[in-house]
Structure 1
Amino acid sequence: MAYHWDFSAVTRNADAFAAGLVNTVLLSAAGIAVGLALGLVVALMRLSGRRVLAWPALAFVEFYRNTPPLVHLFWFFYGLPMVLGLTLSPFVAALSALGIQSAAFFAEVYRAGIVSVERGQWEAGRALGMGRARLMRRVILPQALRRMVAPFVDRSFELIKTTTLAAALTFQDLVYNAMVVTTQTYRPLEVYTAVAVIFFLLLFSLSQLAEWLDARMKRRGG
């Protein structure tokens, strides 16, 4: 017997999909912001040349790059209340877990971009009397950032897709709301097809925007 598709389950619950999408975008944007900020700090620690800073940064990167995000989600949401008596909302727990883990990946992007800048740029800056911090801010990072766009976009997309795990914490993102709609309508194929289409449209639109920004930065950089 052929399956009879009925997307009325989706259209009748458009408000639930819209609310879930907004929450997904908010969690993704906040996670990327945390990852970028913390990742830069970790990258600079690794490049500092001081073992007291470089070794903890390396341990942080290796630990978070080699452990599953779902474990960190459960630790922040279920573990902290038992260990420290600290209770986090689903959003804060998901943001903490995903933002911190993404920082490990963003840190490697920063580090690779910074070390890719030609040594002559460092020497020229020092010859002009620039200190390390000023040289990094005025000369190295602007050049490195142009080379980081594609890796940053790839990692950001991975983070956006990983936010779907936050549904396990009852965070009302797109996937969680889709699960609720499925239990109410018994139309899982239509509901999750709609979720896939929404994610595709979101990520495809962002990829086009990223390509445009990358091309513009390359033109400005000569």
Structure 2
Amino acid sequence: MYRWDFAPVLANADLLLQGLVNTLAVTGTALAFGIPLGLALALARLSGRRLLAWPAGFVIEFFRTTPPLVQLFWFFFALPVLIRVEMTPFMASALTFSIQSSAFFAEVFRGGIVSVERGQWEAARAIGMTPSQSMRRIVLPQAVKRMIPAFMERAIELMKTTTLVAIVSYADLLYQANEIAQKTFRPLEVFTVVAGIYFVVILMISLLARRLERRLAVSGESTVH
């Protein structure tokens, strides 16, 4: 019978905490840059101008369809060769997941924008608003409200995907767990605790997303997935 012993894990709790902080740092950075970049890509794709729509469409489809691990390797190993700048694990991870997330957020934004009834555009034009004013004051406020649950779901997927950064030696939660497991020879306990940490954090985000969905359902707003 296997004897569970969590004492070595508790003795290294500070490393797990630091790993969680680093995981949240990459996730937060990717969200901070990915959301506005995603909005820019969505607006470019919806602009109707080929010089904007086609490159934006290519970026969106490329980063949505290529494996995130391949993207991470490219930014960590290949990009420094091209730009002659040393890329730290955090820089490569943040850059990779910011751009990759922007491609998914672009589709969320696009879906939210096109879901707004055409009559809203026509009403804004009737009172003298320019297209940019209509987008900023009328369309986006309605679209963003509908997209909140989809944003939360995407944030959850992003956090789970960031476990890949351990491969480039970024000290996230998974990387620290692997270091502790090798040092203590207690992989079962270590990865059980790590799984529990991810479960608690992601469950909290999921519950928040569900609460927002219920509020939007009560208010009669549809959601975009």
Q: Report what 1:4 is aligned to.
A: 3
Does the aligned pair in 2 maintain the 1:61–1:105 contact within 8 Å? yes
Does the aligned pair in 1 maintain the 2:6–2:189 contact within 8 Å? yes
Output the CA distance in 1 between the equivalents of 2:29 and 2:186.
Answer: 32
Deviation per residue, 1:22-51 (Å, 9 max, x gap): 111111111111110100000000010101
State the identity as a percent. 52
Does the aligned pair in 2 maintain the 1:146–1:218 contact within 8 Å? no
Does the aligned pair in 2 maintain the 1:46–1:55 contact within 8 Å? yes
Q: Could you state the TM-score of these two structures normalised by the residue count of structure 1? A: 0.95
Output the CA distance in 2 between the equivalents of 1:73 and 1:86.
Answer: 16
Output the CA distance in 1 between the equivalents of 2:215 and 2:115.
Answer: 21
Asked whether 1:125 is paired with 2:91, we answer no
Shift of 1:218: 6.2
Output the CA distance in 2 between the equivalents of 1:30 and 1:154.
Answer: 17
- Number of paired residues? 221
Output the CA distance in 1 between the equivalents of 2:170 and 2:187.
Answer: 19
Q: Report what 2:151 is aligned to.
A: 152
Letter in 1 for 2:20: L
Does the aligned pair in 2 maintain the 1:146–1:214 contact within 8 Å? no
Asked whether 1:56 is paired with 2:55, we answer yes
Output the CA distance in 1 between the equivalents of 2:22 and 2:214.
Answer: 30
Q: Report what 1:86 is aligned to.
A: 85
Structure 1: where are the runs of 5+ without partners? none
Q: Could you state the TM-score of these two structures normalised by the residue count of structure 2? A: 0.93
Letter in 1 for 2:129: M
Q: Report what 2:160 is aligned to.
A: 161
Shift of 1:212: 3.5
Shift of 1:126: 0.5
Q: Report what 1:201 is aligned to.
A: 200
Q: Report what 2:34 is aligned to.
A: 35
Structure 2: where are the runs of 5+ without partners? none
Output the CA distance in 2 between the equivalents of 1:113 and 1:89.
Answer: 36
Does the aligned pair in 2 maintain the 1:10–1:191 contact within 8 Å? yes
Output the CA distance in 2 between the equivalents of 1:143 and 1:219.
Answer: 15
